[in-house]
Amino acid sequence: MAQLESSFKNMVLVLSGITLFAAVTLASVYTFTKEPIAASKTAKQQNAIKEVLPPFDHLAEPIKIEDGVENLTVHKAYNAKNEFVGAAVESSSNNGFAGKINVMVGFDKDGVIVNYSVLEQKETPGLGTKMVEWFKTDKENQNIKGKNPATTNLTVSKDGGEIDAITASTISSRAFLFTIRNAYHAYSINLDDKAIASTDSTNINIKN
């Protein structure tokens, strides 16, 4: 009996040691990779801003909007004369076929869509993933670039809208177009004809 108890204690000690080692290792890996991951995410965001906006000189401080469901960030862009030229809006939807879709969409000063960039999506390869290029392709009624959400019904044609959904990916298309409409709403409520860039404007050293 004493030998059995001794073996049990040894087993508990060994398992506890393994668990502790695993926990320490995971914590170390997280600490080691946290900053590179954050830096990569920031770089991707800044590249997306460049990609979706008209030519600009600098950005104002980001405006964050939280409505309890979706979080949005508006990046107002200005030229060298401090004149408003447009805004890039980071928008998301949790209703994709496989979960969250995060998009950066750019509008010019008149509210016309300049371009968009998909920052995050986990949709079905070969189907929902086509959103990366589908809605900027000049074919039938796919392309949303050059359209103003104020005058164009940016919902899928199946729902009475003016945009062709990705083939066999209506759910993904609905979620994507929701991010665009939501982004335009955030853009429109933050327009101010008298607005000028903050003296603390964020300069990410980029010029298109």
Q: What is the pLDDT of residues 1-47, one digit of tens each?
A: 445 455 766 776 777 778 877 777 776 665 666 565 556 667 778 99
Arithmetic mean of pLDDT, 41-57 = 89
| Spatial separation of the C-alpha atoms in residues 116 and 187, rounded to whole Å | 14
Provide the residue ranges of all domains of the chain, joining segments of one domain with +. 1-208
Confirm whether pTM is higher than 0.85: no
Tell me: pLDDT of 114 over 80: yes
Is residue 14 within a helix (H) or strand (E), and if so which, with residue range?
Answer: helix 2-52
Tell me: pLDDT of 198 over 80: no
The confidence score (pLDDT) of residue 197 equals: 37
